[in-house]
Amino acid sequence: MNIEPKNALRPGGGLLLVDVQKDFCPGGRLAIDNGDAVIPVLNQWIEAALARGIPVYASRDWHPRGHPSFADQGGKWPPHCLADSDGARFHPGLRLPESAVIITKGVRFDQDQNSVFDQTGFAARLRRDGVTSLWVGGLALDVCVLATVLDALREGFAVKLIRDGTRPVSEARGRDALRRMQEAGAEII
């Protein structure tokens, strides 16, 4: 389904951008093929959200050195999005408004936090803001976006995935992630 952002966003909705950080884009430490291609798409959604008074949320990995997701600690990823590093910054092309609520995750030494909802208090913030549905895009489709969408649905939020606003680490895993999200109740647009 192809939907124009300006016609899609309604009161009670929120726009969530997952981990659109430099390390996940070309040239980064854990670059996703064409990861930066999501930026123009997400910027259109940001513009539409601002025009309609819809809140914008953006998550970021903010890992300490020695994070358990890193290969040298037994995880499966190279070190990435180290707290306060250049690679952990949002991509400079992403036009996040000053009003965007930033959710920091991946800060624990004892576990990874792929989902924006994992021990961050984000669900409580959304309820306090009157948000009942989320439009979601970001990186990576088959890791943090997948975990976030599934948790959002478990928390009772309606979810619409902005398909052109996300990219997977692997195409096969991306297809599986889309299937899992749909089966759980997310709408893919």
Residue 6 confidence (pLDDT): 72
Q: Is the pLDDT of residue 88 over 90?
A: yes
- CA angle in degrees (0–180, nearest 5) for 114-158-3: 100
pLDDT, tens digit, for every residue of 20-44?
Answer: 999 999 999 999 999 999 999 999 9
Entry pTM: 0.96
pLDDT at 4: 76
Q: What is the pLDDT of residues 112-142, one digit of tens each?
A: 999 999 999 999 999 999 999 999 999 999 9
Instruction: Report, as an integer, the average pLDDT of 101-106.
Output: 97
What pLDDT score was predicted for residue 1? 55
Active-site positions read: 19, 105, 144
Question: Which of the four pLDDT bands, split at 50, 70 and 90, describes residue 105?
Answer: very high
Written as six digits, the tokens of 145 are: 């976006």
CA distance 103 to 155: 17
What pLDDT is recorded for position 8? 83
Cα–Cα distance, 48 to 121 (Å, whole number)? 26
pLDDT of residue 2: 63
* Side chain identity at residue 110, one-letter code: D
